[in-house]
Amino acid sequence: MPNLPKPRLRRPTRGRGPVAGSPADHPQTPNVEIIEAEGLRWLHIERPQPADRAWLEEHFGFHPLDYEDVFSRNQRPKVDEYPEYLFVVLHFPRFDKSVGRLNAAELDMFVGPDFVITLPNEPIQPLEYLFERCRTREEQRDTLFAKGPGYLLYKIVDDCVDASFPMLRKMGNKLEVLEEDIFEGRSGEIVRDISNVKQEIINFRKIVRPQRTALRDLERTKRYIPEGLDIYFDDMNDASERVWDMLENFKEVVEGLESTNESVLSHRVNDILKALTAISVVVLPLTLVASIFGMNVRVPGEGSLQAFWIVVAAMIAMLVAMLWFFRKRGWL
């Protein structure tokens, strides 16, 4: 990373001890929530607006390109190192109930020697839960903040990564239900369900794939991470790799289910065609006999009731014989 202008980190002088802040405590920052304890501040800005950018520019000297990344909609996960801070961009899956599909929620973070700033572009549930626990539980806040910004960064990212596992379990349950439905005669009805699950897996993979590199970069970064925390970031990467492995497995499973469902549908169509073909073949000779005796020419037994019953009996015998032959050959 090229050397960029050293950021100015202007902070008000403060004493030690836990202090929890809220927008009401900071009238200039209506969208900024602040928790402060053990010499560390956590600033949380959900869905940052231009007014929040102005406040950040006033109190911190982050590079202008970072602000552009925060307000951009097309950022890839990454970790940028500056002389005075880290800038981290990560994506996490978030189920959007309004459209009924998985979307990527972007989380931008600034990490410095005594501050962590989180700027999600959408509400991220595990992040909100962690922030609220730190706000309301003094003991947990002090324990978490006392280990420094590196540990707080790990805890934020780890909680967001772990939130993927309940989503994956639900996805796995859907696949199990689909497998049962295929063999219970509902293969024609679940084509759309298979397509929806397949789309969920594709969206999930699109979110997780580029993030794996960013998390490995974050593990290799030694800034603000005291000795002994390496194992935590390694565990976080292991969790991310488990998520990817599960997605790879689900991808293979849904492709197998799709292939199986197509085979079941094809087999069912073949059975129908086989039955219709057999019926056609059986009826064809009977139609031929009926057509011969229905011609407008003189035929043996014409006008005789006894001849009529002989022809009907012959047709029935022919029908039974053909059915027996087809059954014996396994065609019916």
pLDDT higher than threshold 80 for residue 125: yes
Q: How many CB atoms lie within 10 A of CB 156?
A: 25
Q: Please give the Cα distance from 44 to 67 (Å, whole number).
A: 15
Task: Please give the structure tokens belonging to residue 289.
Answer: 């006999």
Which of 134-148, 238-252, 254-268 ranks highest by mean pLDDT? 238-252
Contact 61, 8 (CB under 8 A): yes
Q: Which of 163-167, 185-189, 212-216, 270-274 shows the lowest mean pLDDT across its residues?
A: 185-189
The pLDDT tens digits for 248-278 are: 999 999 988 888 888 888 877 887 787 788 7
pTM for this predicted structure: 0.74
Phi, psi of 241, rounded to the nearest 5 degrees? -70, -35
Contact 84, 11 (CB under 8 A): no
Triad 300, 305, 306: Cα angle to 5°: 75
Average per-residue pLDDT for the chain: 81
**Percent of the chain scoring above 70 in pLDDT:** 86
Between residues 196 and 8, which one has the greater pLDDT?
196
Q: Please give the Cα distance from 127 to 163 (Å, whole number).
A: 10
Can you give the chain as a three-state secondary structure string? Answer: CCCCCCCCECCCCCCCCCEECCHHHCCCCCCEEEEEECCEEEEEECCCCHHHHHHHHHHECCCHHHHHHHCCCCCCCEEEECCCCEEEEEEEEEEECCCCEEEEEEEEEEECCCEEEEEECCCCHHHHHHHHHHHHCHHHHHHHHCCCHHHHHHHHHHHHHHCHHHHHHHHHHHHHHHHHHHCCCCCCCCHHHHHHHHHHHHHHHHHHHHHHHHHHHHHHCCCCCCCCCHHHHHHHHHHHHHHHHHHHHHHHHHHHHHHHHHHHHHHHHHHHHHHHHHHHHHHHHHHHHHHHHCCCCCCCCCCCHHHHHHHHHHHHHHHHHHHHHHHHCCCC
Q: Please give the Cα distance from 9 to 57 (Å, whole number).
A: 10
Confidence of residue 24 (pLDDT cuts 50, 70, 90): very low
Q: Which of 23-27, 84-88, 110-114, 173-177 shows the lowest mean pLDDT across its residues?
A: 23-27
Say which amino acid occupies 134.
C
Comparing CA positions, the residue from 283, 243, 271 lying closest to residue 331 is 271
Comparing CA positions, the residue from 68, 26, 25 lying closest to residue 48 is 68
Confidence of residue 20 (pLDDT cuts 50, 70, 90): very low
Task: Please give the structure tokens belonging to residue 15.
Answer: 């004493």
Q: What is the CA radius of gyration of the chain?
A: 35
Phi, psi of 70, rounded to the nearest 5 degrees? -60, -40
The pLDDT tens digits for 25-81 are: 444 455 889 999 888 999 999 998 888 888 988 888 899 899 999 988 778 899 998
What Cα–Cα distance (Å) separates residue 148 from each residue in 116, 132, 319?
Answer: 10, 19, 89
pLDDT higher than threshold 80 for residue 131: yes
Between residues 205 and 4, which one has the greater pLDDT?
205
